């Protein structure tokens, strides 16, 4: 009598593989090129396996974006830990995080495209930003700081929409100038 070999189920590994595969496809083909079949094939599972972990492609995209937002959140926290707390602490960290040069193949690039194109994903970003602004309203509720964040967003959007290939040196210079404006306003 032969004993059937049963593969040990590892749902967290499968879920992780689906998320990693989706992020890789989003980087190489954009979110529009991401299909349930392509993700399932890339992760080595059936479409049924995909749907066991995610009820829809949108749910998968939401989770990929949520993970990327968590990493941006961690990056902001990392920058905040290096800065003195007080006036503009969040804005300084936000400017540094947004204007950190990313490789063209970075998942941040795909997230950027998705955030601009998809209203549901955009709401994840605006929810995150609003939560951070509420949390830091004592230190970052000033028009000059809002303008600095808008400027960082504008630089990021220009790079995204115009396909600008800004050098790391130019990005660092723009970041330094925005941070100097924040510091100047604090001294005024």
Among 125, 39, 136, which Cα is nearest to 87's? 136
Check residue 168 and give its pLDDT: 81
pLDDT at 105: 46
Percent of the chain with pLDDT over 90: 46
Q: What is the DSSP string of 172-185?
A: HHHHHHHHHHHHHH
102 Cβ contact partners less than 8 Å away, ≥ 6 residues apart? 108, 109
Q: Out of 5-9, 21-25, 130-134, 139-143, which region has the weakest mean confidence (pLDDT)?
A: 5-9
User: Which of 1.20.1250.20, 3.40.50.150, 1.10.10.60, 3.30.499.10 would CATH assign to domain 9-55?
Assistant: 1.10.10.60
**CA gyration radius for the chain?**
20
Q: Where are the domains of the chain?
A: 9-55, 62-187
How many CA atoms are closer than 13 Å to the CA of 20, on its beta-carbon side?
9
User: pTM (2 decimals)?
Assistant: 0.78
Arithmetic mean of pLDDT, 14-20 = 92
């Amino acid at each position: 009598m032969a004993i059937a070999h049963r593969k040990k189920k590892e749902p967290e590994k499968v879920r992780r593989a689906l998320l990693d595969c989706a992020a890789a496809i989003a980087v190489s083909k954009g979110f529009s090129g991401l299909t349930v079949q392509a993700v399932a094939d890339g992760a080595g599972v059936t479409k049924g396996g995909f749907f066991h972990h995610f009820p829809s492609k949108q749910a998968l995209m939401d989770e990929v974006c949520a993970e990327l937002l968590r990493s941006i959140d961690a990056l902001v926290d990392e920058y905040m830990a290096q800065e003195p707390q007080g006036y503009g602490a969040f804005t300084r960290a936000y400017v540094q995080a947004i204007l950190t040069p990313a490789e063209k193949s970075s998942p941040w690039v795909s997230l950027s495209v998705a955030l601009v194109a998809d209203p549901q994903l955009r709401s994840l970003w605006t929810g995150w930003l609003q939560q951070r602004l509420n949390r830091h309203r004592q230190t970052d509720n000033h028009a000059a700081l809002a303008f600095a964040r808008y400027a960082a967003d504008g630089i990021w959007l220009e790079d995204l929409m115009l396909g600008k290939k800004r050098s790391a040196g130019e990005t660092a210079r723009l970041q330094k100038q925005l941070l100097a404006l924040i510091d100047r306003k604090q001294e005024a």
